[in-house]
Structures are given as structure tokens and as C-alpha cells.
Structure 1
């Protein structure tokens, strides 16, 4: 799977750990930065990574910042992106199986490495349950986005 990754300075260390783990698992990683722990603006890295998801240049993205909320707020402003913040494997499983999320946002100040690895594993290995009720709910949410967000080809 082709996965975009990005972080700010607070999430850099965890992003690097997860990047190495996913690459070792055979995934193609597109790293949008940041490249170190120097103070930086999250949007400079999370936005291009999320845009790659919206343009279908990658299959999914994992964004890491201090708490995860900033990444999710940035990513969810792009049509075609369904970003979630997860802090445990149970929520990560449901975020994929019930909501078909394509961007996972993690907070390096909130969860440690061990939990983050378990969250990523759960999110990466859970499939969307395309049963009628879940498909209907996801489609309703996407219809809301289509009413309010511009298509990327209009940018």
C-alpha cells in the first residue's frame, strides 16, 4: 500500500518510528516531512500529505502531531479525505470498518510508541465493512462534503 506520512516537530520521532515499521512491512511510504524536531508549522506538512490522499496519489495517510486534532482539522478540509484521530486500537478498528477512513491522525504527546504501533496495526489491517448500513452512512457523510467542499480539479 502507498502511504503518505507527515508530522510537525512534536510528532517527528513517532512518525519516524512508524515510517520505518511500515516500510519494513512492505509499504511504499511517501514522507512529506518534517525532517527533524525543529519548530515548524503543521499545515506545511499535513496539508500536502492529505492532498495526496484527496488526489488519490496515495492510498492512505498517517499524520502525527502533538495531539492529532490539528492534523485532522487540516486533512478534513479536503474533499475525498476522511481523517480520524485514534488513541486506541478499538477506535482505529472502527474508524476503518465502520467509517472507511483514509487518514489516521495520532498525537505523540497523548499516546506512547507501543500504543501507536498497535493503533496503526489495527487501522492498517481493518477492512471497511461494506454492508448496507455502513455504506449508506459513509455515503451520506461524503455527500455532505461534496455539497460544501470544492473538487480538487477546480483548484
Structure 2
């Protein structure tokens, strides 16, 4: 079982609800940080809230989504300790975990369909960090973050 924090804006709401239901049915613990409808909202508070759940140890990973996923990734990455990766394909989902130890997945709900989104999430959740030379680079990212 994985503890997963979700955050989205209105454009990502329907995909968020779909993924939450699917992952809850699979036995994962879900933390829904909003939004709660398709009414227009600003994404930063919801995506940062999901990233904070990861940072604070309440969630193992976060998943954020909006229209393109780009702003949502940016908002999550403003949270110290979050390593959010925009993954709208399987390759980037695998690399985000294997090489960057990403702990927040961002998806563009207007970019990928339900089936591909499910595959991206499954791959992200099942892929382990390789460590090795990549650990050194993740440590360098953490050091950069500590500068500010």
C-alpha cells in the first residue's frame, strides 16, 4: 500500500477523481488535497498542499494534475523537499523515478487520455530509484534547494 496525496485544478479534477477511485480500489491510501469540482480555481494551493503531504511524511508520493501539468509541477516544486516531474509519457515517468527519485508526479489531463494516465501512474508507483551516480545528482539538487 502506498500513501498518495492528490492535488489538481479544475482541468485535472475529473482525471484526479478517476485515479483516486482506481487507486483506492487497489488498496492505496488516498489524501485528497482538492480541488473538489470543475469550477475554475487557481492550482498552486492544491498542488503545493499535495507536495507538503509528501514533504511532511504523510504521503509517500504526490500526484498533481491540471490542463498541461506544467504549472502544477512548478507549484509542487516550490515546496522544499518535493521533486515533481511532469510525465505525459511512459519514458519520462520511468526516468523521473529511476534517475531523479521524483516524489511528485504531474500529469496533463488535457494531454493524455485515461488509459495512458493509468499506465503512467502505475509505472511511476512501481519504479524504484536506481541510486548510484543518480543519488549524487539528487544530493546536488537538495543542496541547491538548501541555498534558498
TM-score norm. by structure 1 comes to 0.91
1:106 alignment partner in structure 2: 107
1:44 alignment partner in structure 2: 45
- 1:2-46 per-residue CA deviation (whole Å, 9 max, x = no partner) reads 110011110001011111111111110000111111111112311
RMSD: 0.9
Does the 8 Å CA contact 2:48/2:78 hold for their aligned counterparts?
no
The 1-side partners of 2:100 and 2:48 are apart by 21
The 2-side partners of 1:138 and 1:44 are apart by 25
The 2-side partners of 1:24 and 1:97 are apart by 26
Report the 3-state secondary structure (helix = DSSP H, G, I; strand = E; otherwise coil) of the residue aligned with 2:102: coil
1:25 alignment partner in structure 2: 26
Q: Between Structure 1 and Structure 2, how many residues are aligned?
A: 147
The 2-side partners of 1:130 and 1:26 are apart by 28
1:122 alignment partner in structure 2: 123
The 1-side partners of 2:130 and 2:57 are apart by 21
Q: Does 1:82 align with 2:92?
A: no
In the alignment, structure 2 segments of 5+ residues that lack a partner are none
1:138 alignment partner in structure 2: 138
Report the 3-state secondary structure (helix = DSSP H, G, I; strand = E; otherwise coil) of the residue aligned with 1:13: helix
